């Protein structure tokens, strides 16, 4: 199976001056875990994840003051739509991250997450799993 088959095509793109609270609201409203940060004045594309926001708030930083640019990962590994899910999983494992921005010649076309890959690899469940504990 290919990345194009698993990726989410809902790509939230924000600017570097969005506050962390603004980014969190937008991500929460769309029920997504990452936003593409587009900064044409610097590196171009980066990624801001829910974990980046959590780490900032957890360390006492003000989400109404801190901006996306300060917490964006700019050294991004991008996936191509034609990558296999195995290639995407290997890139995530090697890099220690959970999201890949998917690019084609025109720019971002999706984001693939660990959750997306698991959904494709997990067998379809016919009966709900009962959790014990």
pTM here? 0.85
Cβ neighbourhood burial of 102 (10 Å; 0-12, 13-18, 19+): buried
CA angle 107, 70, 36 (to 5 degrees): 20
Convert the pLDDT of each residue in 6-57 to its tens digit: 999 989 999 999 999 999 999 999 999 999 999 888 768 999 999 999 999 9
Beta strands 34-39 and 44-49, pairing class: antiparallel
Closest CA to 37 of 4, 76, 65: 76
CA angle 33, 39, 43 (to 5 degrees): 100
Q: Is the pLDDT of residue 128 over 70?
A: no
């Amino acid at each position: 199976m290919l990345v194009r088959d698993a990726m989410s095509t809902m790509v939230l793109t924000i600017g570097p001056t969005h506050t962390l609270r603004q980014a969190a609201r937008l991500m929460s409203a769309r029920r997504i875990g990452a936003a593409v940060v587009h900064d044409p004045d610097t590196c171009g594309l980066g990624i801001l994840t829910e974990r980046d926001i959590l780490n900032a708030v957890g360390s006492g930083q003000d989400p109404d003051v801190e901006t996306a640019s300060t917490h964006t990962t700019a050294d991004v590994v991008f996936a191509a739509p034609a990558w296999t899910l195995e290639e995407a999983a290997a890139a995530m494992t090697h890099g220690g991250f959970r999201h890949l921005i998917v690019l084609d010649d025109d720019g971002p076309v999706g984001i693939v997450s660990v959750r997306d890959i698991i959904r494709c690899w997990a067998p379809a469940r016919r009966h709900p799993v009962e959790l014990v504990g």
